[in-house]
Amino acid sequence: MTTYLLRGARPLGGAPTDILLGEGRVLALGAAAAEDDRAASAEVVEAAGLVALPGLVDLHTHLREPGREDAETVASGTRAAALGGFTAVHAMANTSPVADTAGVVEQVWRLGRDAGWVDVHPVGAVSVGLAGTHLAELGAMAHSAARVRVFSDDGHCVDDPVLMRRALEYVKAFDGVVAQHAQEPRLTQGAQMHEGVVSAEVGLAGWPAVAEEAIIARDVLLAEHVGSRLHVCHLSTAGSVEIIRWAKARGIPVTAEVTPHHLLLTDELARTYDPLYKVNPPLRTDADVEAVRAGLADGTIDIVATDHAPHTREDKDCEWAAAAFGMTGLETALAIVTSVMVAEGRMDWADVARVLSSAPARIGRIDQGEQAHGRPLEVGEPANLTLVDPEARWTVDPAGLASASANTPYGGRELVGQVRATFLRGRPTVLDGRAVEPVRDGEVLP
Amino acid sequence: MRHLLSAADLDRTTAIEVLDAAAQMAATQAREIKKLPTLRGRTVVNLFFEDSTRTRISFETAAKRLSADVINFAAKGSSVSKGESLKDTAQTLQAMGADAVVIRHPASGAPHRLAHSGWVGTSVVNAGDGTHQHPTQALLDAYTIRRHLTGTTANPDGVGNDLAGLRVAIVGDVLHSRVARSNVQLLHTLGAEVTLVSPPTLVPVGAEAWPCSISYHLDAVLADQQPDAIMMLRVQRERMGGDRTGATGFFPSPLEYTRSFGLDSRRLRMLPDHAIVLHPGPMNRGLEISAEAADSPRAVILEQVANGVAVRMAVLYLLLAQERETLA
């Protein structure tokens, strides 16, 4: 296996240093890297000026396979993920069939392994068929080859409080976590966009902030009551940030994520009636965007997760109410965090590594062992690593993205920060900003 | 003007221009030969995804009086349910030579998508989209109000006038009403003072940003404001409480609604002598408007229908013919 010498990279934005990768691990750092015997035969990657981050981990990805391979496949979605700097993604359960059995999660896991771009960790459904009535076989999924630790009915809220309580309790047996899509269903029947000044004017049915906040408030209290871990998916409102802040101050074991789009975009975009901006939870107001940025900066919000939601052209090239919810995000997530948080001075690169790698890996319980992610850039650790040009400005071209679907809301937008290389256990999946096709020869990829 | 999608697209000058053109159109409609050659050879498509015989006939009459060819396309359902997408339907109609598409659609923003997504190159007229806009309804209402309340013997249609200082009360289901949204914007643009009167459950969150005042008390508005015009909105039966579909009603019962917000004979007498009563139709007699009110001399409801044709003629003329011909 080839060794790689990354010359002059800046770990977490710190002083330039050399990093030697080989045998799937970080072999040496600094002066020791260049002097290492194995460096002589290494392939050199000029990394001057590039920031080295631990490989990014997405806790919330829709890969659409099985069922909607016309929108995305495990192979196409994970290739996009690698180009976005990710080395691991959690694949959401709302596929067809639903990932509510050991069989389906193992299938998705194997498809990820075969594709070889990133490690795919399937999320298991909380309820059978995402129907919100019966617990799915959480234990079977946890003990399958896919070793599922994150359970979610994402796309649907586990709105029955008893089912939610049971799920929270049940996953304690294998240190799992329930990731809640917080959306009170009765308050959001037919909802199309954030309820407020813009929805009143454009006449689209409102999705009120309280429908998210009421569920989060209930769930943090349930988590406290039963002593279980709770994760809140894609929180989007200022009120949700306040509730999480309160819960953490009380010592409740809750974690929360925000998406890149909720860090950047607002409901004003719905005035275009362009369904590229239709997403669930919906884009909120300026005040909400400011609150989630502040919450991410002060640690109230633990992670950024993409909620990458590819959709076919026909599911977006229509009237707003007929369109699907969701937007792609794997290839733009890091650049958005760089643009709105780092370039604005609200976070440094260590914070980026925390919210996009170590914290999501810990929540997903993939931060230990040979296949660990989100580990520090230290000798002996798995060589999962991303090189980012922190100053590069680029304009998003939907046709130039690798996802099989083009429903990015950022077309034409200039962003700062570009992924130059990604390594998965020492093997480059991206070099010079281009995907490196995994070589197979019938062998299992490292 | 390339499209007419929203009353918000009309500034004061343009709005008055449309109303003045409508007055000219109305004048031609008093002639024995009502038909004008203005749009000869042009094709107007009425693309209706919702049943609305009245609005469709009004547009059809307007286009025919201008000598346009008219194609009526009633698309039952929409891509929301199943079948052909809006994009394919519109492109098909364009391929058949449509110069303007008049669209009625249950999805808010569908006309906007048609005009701005690059699907078709025709002019688009919004004939009512979801709970968003119905700009020609607002124009015909403004036309009717202007004629009745600013017209003089010398200038019976109030040509050139705006609605400055007039008080208009709009009563009923604002939440689901594209008529209310369009009227608030247009009447405000023309200088009128608009008050929405509605039960709190039927006022959208966010309406506090609209250029109007909002009241929950019809009697107080009638007594204190003495509106010059009162517009009663249709209340949909399905908005009421007590059905067995599991839907939660917006008010407890039809009776309670009528008691608080219906225009009955007592409230009719509270209006100033010159005040007029409008309703976009179709009416629920006995619910939002009593028979006495609907049939009273103050009611201008049938005149609204007639004015609708003139206003729609003006809109089609301004969209399709203005640069090519002057009005005969």
CA–CA distance from A201 to each of A194, B140, B158, B202, B207 (Å)? 12, 21, 30, 14, 8
pLDDT at residue B245 greater than cutoff 60: no
Under an 8 A CB cutoff, do A320 and B207 touch?
no
Whether residue B326 lies inside any domain: the answer is no
pLDDT at residue B119 greater than cutoff 60: yes
Buried b (16+ CB within 10 A) or exposed e, A116-128: bbbbbbbbbbbbe
Nearest beta carbon to residue A203 from set B130, B205, B208: B130
The stretch A53-76 carries a mean pLDDT of 98
Nearest beta carbon to residue B132 from set A197, A203, A318: A203
Chain A residues with CB inside 8 Å of B209's CB?
197, 200-201
Under an 8 A CB cutoff, do A200 and B112 touch?
no
The CA distance from A188 to A169, in Å, is 27
Statement to judge: residues B264 and B313 lie in one domain: no
Nearest CA in chain A to B176: A203
Determine which of A337-341, B15-19, B71-75 has the lowest per-residue pLDDT on average: B71-75
Kindly state whether A287 is in contact with chain B, defined as any CB-CB distance less than 8 angstroms. no
Q: Over the stretch A198-248, which tens digit does the pLDDT of each residue have?
A: 999 999 999 999 999 999 999 999 999 999 999 999 999 999 999 999 999
The CATH number corresponding to A4-52+379-391+413-435 among 2.30.60.10, 3.40.50.150, 2.30.40.10, 3.40.50.2000 equals 2.30.40.10
Q: What is the pLDDT of residue A444?
A: 53
Q: What is the pLDDT of residue B82?
A: 57
Determine which of A90-94, A353-357, B135-139, B279-283 has the lowest per-residue pLDDT on average: B279-283
Which band of pLDDT confidence, cut at 50, 70 and 90, is reported for residue B84?
Answer: confident
Q: What is the pLDDT of residue B325?
A: 45
Nearest beta carbon to residue A202 from set B105, B108, B208: B108
CA dihedral B48, B50, B53, B55 (to 10 degrees): -70
Under an 8 A CB cutoff, do A201 and B129 touch?
no
Q: Which residue from B132, B127, B236 is spatially nearest to A321, judged by alpha carbons?
A: B132
Q: What is the pLDDT of residue A443?
A: 57
Q: Is-contact A59 A88, C-beta < 8 A?
A: no
pLDDT at residue B326 greater than cutoff 50: no
Nearest beta carbon to residue A200 from set B110, B116, B206: B206
Q: What is the pLDDT of residue B321?
A: 83
Nearest CA in chain B to A324: B80
Statement to judge: residues B94 and B106 lie in one domain: yes
Q: Provide the domain limits for residue B281.
A: 135-305
Q: For chain B, how many structural domains are there in total?
A: 2
Q: What is the pLDDT of residue B328?
A: 37
Q: How far is A333 from chain B (nearest CA, A)?
A: 27
Under an 8 A CB cutoff, do A201 and B210 touch?
yes
The CA distance from A11 to B191, in Å, is 63
pLDDT at residue B310 greater than cutoff 80: yes
One-letter amino acid at A51 equals V
Statement to judge: residues B89 and B166 lie in one domain: no
Whether residue B325 lies inside any domain: the answer is no
The stretch B17-24 carries a mean pLDDT of 97
One-letter amino acid at A45 equals V
pLDDT at residue B79 greater than cutoff 70: no
The stretch B1-20 carries a mean pLDDT of 96
- Tell me which CATH code domain A55-363 carries: 3.20.20.140
| CATH number (domain holding residue B45) | 3.40.50.1370
Q: Over the stretch B52-69, which tens digit does the pLDDT of each residue have?
A: 889 999 999 999 999 999
Chain A residues with CB inside 8 Å of B208's CB?
197
Q: What is the pLDDT of residue A147?
A: 98
The stretch A273-294 carries a mean pLDDT of 98
Kindly state whether A174 is in contact with chain B, defined as any CB-CB distance less than 8 angstroms. no
Q: What length does chain A have?
A: 446
Q: How far is B130 from chain A (nearest CA, A)?
A: 7
User: What count of Cα atoms within 13 Å lies in the side-chain half-sphere of residue A365?
Assistant: 18
Q: DSSP letters along A72-104, please?
A: --HHHHHHHHHHTTEEEEEEPS-SSS-S-SHHH
Under an 8 A CB cutoff, do B130 and A196 touch?
no
Q: Is-contact A402 A76, C-beta < 8 A?
A: yes
In chain A, % of residues over pLDDT 70: 98
Q: What is the pLDDT of residue A331?
A: 98
Nearest beta carbon to residue A319 from set B110, B131, B205: B110
Residue A368 carries which DSSP code? S
Q: Over the stretch B151-180, which tens digit does the pLDDT of each residue have?
A: 999 999 999 999 999 999 999 999 999 999
In chain A, % of residues over pLDDT 90: 98
Kindly state whether B105 is in contact with chain A, defined as any CB-CB distance less than 8 angstroms. yes
The CA distance from B192 to B212, in Å, is 9
One-letter amino acid at A201 equals E
Q: Is-contact B110 B134, C-beta < 8 A?
A: no
Q: What are A166's two structure tokens? A: 């049971």
Q: Over the stretch A360-417, which tens digit does the pLDDT of each residue have?
A: 999 999 999 999 999 999 999 999 999 999 999 999 999 999 999 999 999 999 999 9
Under an 8 A CB cutoff, do B109 and A206 touch?
no
- Coil, strand or helix at B214: strand
| Residue B37: partners with Cβ closer than 8 Å, 6 or more residues away | B67, B328
Nearest beta carbon to residue A273 from set B112, B204, B205: B112
Q: Is-contact A373 A15, C-beta < 8 A?
A: no
Q: What length does chain B have?
A: 328
Sheet hosting strand B276-278, strand order edge to edge: B213-215, B193-197, B167-171, B229-232, B276-278
Under an 8 A CB cutoff, do B132 and A202 touch?
yes
Q: How far is A238 from chain B (nearest CA, A)?
A: 17
Neighbours of A34 (CB within 10 A): 15
User: What count of Cα atoms within 13 Å lies in the side-chain half-sphere of residue A182?
Assistant: 29
The CA distance from A223 to A246, in Å, is 13
Q: What is the pLDDT of residue B104?
A: 96
Which band of pLDDT confidence, cut at 50, 70 and 90, is reported for residue B74?
Answer: confident
Which band of pLDDT confidence, cut at 50, 70 and 90, is reported for residue B268?
Answer: very high
Q: How far is A212 from chain B (nearest CA, A)?
A: 17
Q: Is-contact B126 B111, C-beta < 8 A?
A: yes
The C-alpha angle with vertex B110 and arms to B104 and B111, in degrees rounded to 5, equals 70
Q: Which residue from A175, A172, A210, A178 is spatially nearest to A191, judged by alpha carbons?
A: A210
Helices (H), ranges, chain B: 12-28, 53-65, 86-95, 110-116, 135-150, 178-189, 218-225, 254-261, 265-270, 291-294, 301-320
Statement to judge: residues B218 and B284 lie in one domain: yes
Which band of pLDDT confidence, cut at 50, 70 and 90, is reported for residue A1?
Answer: confident
Which band of pLDDT confidence, cut at 50, 70 and 90, is reported for residue B243?
Answer: low
Q: Is-contact A193 A270, C-beta < 8 A?
A: yes
Kindly state whether A267 is in contact with chain B, defined as any CB-CB distance less than 8 angstroms. no
Q: pTM of the predicted model, to two decimals?
A: 0.94
Q: What are A220's two structure tokens? A: 């943090």
ipTM for the predicted complex: 0.90
Q: Over the stretch A98-114, which tens digit does the pLDDT of each residue have?
A: 999 999 999 999 999 99
Determine which of A222-236, A321-335, A394-408, B86-100 has the lowest per-residue pLDDT on average: B86-100
Nearest beta carbon to residue A319 from set B107, B131, B209: B107
pLDDT at residue A348 greater than cutoff 50: yes
Q: How far is A318 from chain B (nearest CA, A)?
A: 7
Statement to judge: residues B66 and B201 lie in one domain: no
Q: Which residue from B171, B163, B195 is spatially nearest to B262, judged by alpha carbons?
A: B171
The stretch A280-305 carries a mean pLDDT of 98
Under an 8 A CB cutoff, do B113 and A273 touch?
yes
CA–CA distance from A80 to each of A63, A308, A328, A405, A429 (Å)? 10, 10, 10, 10, 10
Whether residue B121 lies inside any domain: the answer is yes
Statement to judge: residues B114 and B145 lie in one domain: no
Q: Is-contact A381 A375, C-beta < 8 A?
A: yes
Residue A277 carries which DSSP code? G
Kindly state whether B136 is in contact with chain A, defined as any CB-CB distance less than 8 angstroms. no
pLDDT at residue A132 greater than cutoff 60: yes
Statement to judge: residues B259 and B284 lie in one domain: yes
pLDDT at residue B124 greater than cutoff 60: yes
Any idea where the domains of chain A sit in the sequence?
Answer: 4-52+379-391+413-435, 55-363
Under an 8 A CB cutoff, do B205 and A195 touch?
yes
| B window 272-301, beta carbon within 8 A of A | none
| Residue B27: partners with Cβ closer than 8 Å, 6 or more residues away | none
Q: Is-contact A304 A259, C-beta < 8 A?
A: yes
Q: How far is B131 from chain A (nearest CA, A)?
A: 5
The CA distance from A260 to B86, in Å, is 31
Kindly state whether A272 is in contact with chain B, defined as any CB-CB distance less than 8 angstroms. yes
Q: Is-contact A411 A269, C-beta < 8 A?
A: no
The stretch A115-134 carries a mean pLDDT of 98
Chain A residues with CB inside 8 Å of B205's CB?
195-196, 199-200, 206, 208
Scan for tokens 């958005």, then name that residue.
A336
The CA distance from A384 to B84, in Å, is 48
pLDDT at residue B280 greater than cutoff 90: yes
Buried b (16+ CB within 10 A) or exposed e, A210-235: ebbbbbbbbbbbbbbebebbbbbbbb
The CA distance from B18 to B138, in Å, is 12
Statement to judge: residues B298 and B311 lie in one domain: no
Determine which of A209-213, A309-313, B49-53, B121-125 has the lowest per-residue pLDDT on average: B49-53
Q: Which residue from B10, B3, B209, B237 is spatially nearest to B110, judged by alpha carbons?
A: B3
CA–CA distance from B2 to each of B10, B124, B319, B321, B323 (Å)? 12, 8, 6, 11, 11
Q: What are A397's two structure tokens? A: 């071209």
The CA distance from B215 to A413, in Å, is 43
Chain B residues with CB inside 8 Å of A276's CB?
none
Instruction: Give the residue numbers of A marked as catalytic.
Output: 307
